[in-house]
Structure 1
Amino acid sequence: MFERFTAAARSVVVNAQSEARSLHHEHIGTEHVLLTLLADPEGPVARSTGLDAATVRADILARIGGHTQDGPVLSDADAEDAAALKAIGIDLAAVREAIEANFGAGALTLPRPAPKKRGLFGKFSAGHGHIPFTNRNKKVLELSLREAIRLKQKFIAPEHIMLGLLREGNGLAALILAERGVDFDRLRADMERSVNAAAA
């Protein structure tokens, strides 16, 4: 399947891993793919949705937490836990600071478990340990192939990946798109128009 991917589509898959790594996530989900599809503000996905990567990154951090360059960003549930602990006199930031002062930066970061298997999706792993694709994201990539076949195209472009993401429809990326008011039918039509123009 991956031999059909254009260089741009391969970049989406590779850069999704970079996005997951930068947020300190233990998986590569549909949300990371959406981030890479929005990385180019002049690209077809950004133009069609009117969204940018920074906005979607903030939505991801608000929903599932992660890290930014400034340090950890807590999800709503974690923030509530931190507030409850602070109410009884425990400041998590101070605890983290004290532990890292004594044991070194990152002392509270758990090591990543060794990958169990390196199947079909392992070939896009590049350095710093393998981050696995979620099953839902694997399905999106498979659906991108089906979208290319449906459109009678012998290649898979980033637009096909977006079409696969829309067809799967249940991941965090689809949820964020829906919450941001993106018209899925219009986005689908825009992606088909873009990829048909590229095939001509």
Structure 2
Amino acid sequence: MFERFTSGARAVVTNAQTEARALHHDHIGTEHTLLALLADTDGAVARSTGLDANTVREDVLKRIGGHTQDGPVLSETDAEDAAALKAIGIDLAAVREAIEANFGAGALRIPPPADKRRRRHVPFTNRNKKVLELSLREAIRLKQKFIAPEHIMLGLLREGQGLAALILADRGVDFDQVRRDMEQAVSAKAA
């Protein structure tokens, strides 16, 4: 299947892995693929959805947490827990600052087990594998012998159940319009 991927589609797959690693996630989900699709700010996906990678990255961090260059980002559940602790007089930010002042920056970070440190491969989720499989089916449906980033977006829309689809829906993206835009863009590439 990957032999059909254009250089742009291959870049989406490798950039999805980069996004997952940057957020310190142990999987490559549909959300990482969406981030990789939006990395091309002039691409068909960014134009059609009206979204940018930074906005979607913030949504991902709010929903499932992760890390930025400034440290850990709490998920909504973690933030609710922090608020509950603050209500009884425990300020997690102040506790973190005090510990890092005494023991150094990153003192609270627990290193991954040795076997995970050696493991550089971040696996695709089954749902994201399905998205890539559906991108092939979309190319076949459109009678095209290549898979471009637009096909991957079509596969993501067709799968429709991952975090990426949830974020798109929450942001008010019109799936039918994006589908038409992707088909038009990929048909222009085939011509």
TM-score when scaled to structure 2? 0.90
Secondary structure at 2:57's aligned position in 1? helix
Unaligned 5+ segments in structure 2 are none
Q: Is the Cα contact below 8 Å between 1:96 and 1:108 reproduced in 2?
A: no
Q: Per-residue displacement from partner, 1:103-134 (whole Å, max 9, x unpaired)?
A: 7626423416847xxxxxxxxxxx97111111
Q: Is the Cα contact below 8 Å between 1:16 and 1:33 reproduced in 2?
A: yes
Q: 2:149 aligns with which of 158, 169, 176?
A: 158
> 1:34 maps to which residue?
34
Q: Per-residue displacement from partner, 1:113-170 (whole Å, max 9, x unpaired)?
A: 847xxxxxxxxxxx97111111100100111111111111111110010000001000
Q: Is the Cα contact below 8 Å between 1:45 and 1:159 reproduced in 2?
A: yes
Q: 1: distance between equivalents of 2:108 and 2:40?
A: 35
Q: 2: distance between equivalents of 1:112 and 1:166?
A: 36
Secondary structure at 2:67's aligned position in 1? strand
Cα distance change of structure 1 residues 112 and 186 upon mapping to structure 2, 3 Å threshold: farther
Number of equivalences: 189
Cα distance change of structure 1 residues 61 and 113 upon mapping to structure 2, 3 Å threshold: farther
Measure how far apart 1:58 and its partner are: 1.2
> 2:106 maps to which residue?
105
Question: What is the percent sequence identity of the aligned residues?
Answer: 76
Q: Is the Cα contact below 8 Å between 2:45 and 2:182 reproduced in 1?
A: yes
> 1:120 maps to which residue?
none
> 1:68 maps to which residue?
68
After alignment, is 87-96 or 63-72 more displaced?
87-96
After alignment, is 84-93 or 73-82 more displaced?
84-93
> 2:12 maps to which residue?
12
> 1:188 maps to which residue?
179
Amino acid at match of 2:129: K
Cα distance change of structure 1 residues 170 and 155 upon mapping to structure 2, 3 Å threshold: same
> 1:49 maps to which residue?
49
> 1:122 maps to which residue?
none
Q: CA RMSD in A?
A: 2.0
> 2:58 maps to which residue?
58
Structure 1: which 4+ aligned runs deviate by more than 6 Å? none
Unaligned 5+ segments in structure 1 are 116-126
Q: 2: distance between equivalents of 1:113 and 1:171?
A: 31
> 1:118 maps to which residue?
none
Q: 2: distance between equivalents of 1:114 and 1:138?
A: 24
Cα distance change of structure 1 residues 51 and 104 upon mapping to structure 2, 3 Å threshold: closer
Q: Is 1:139 matched with 2:130?
A: yes
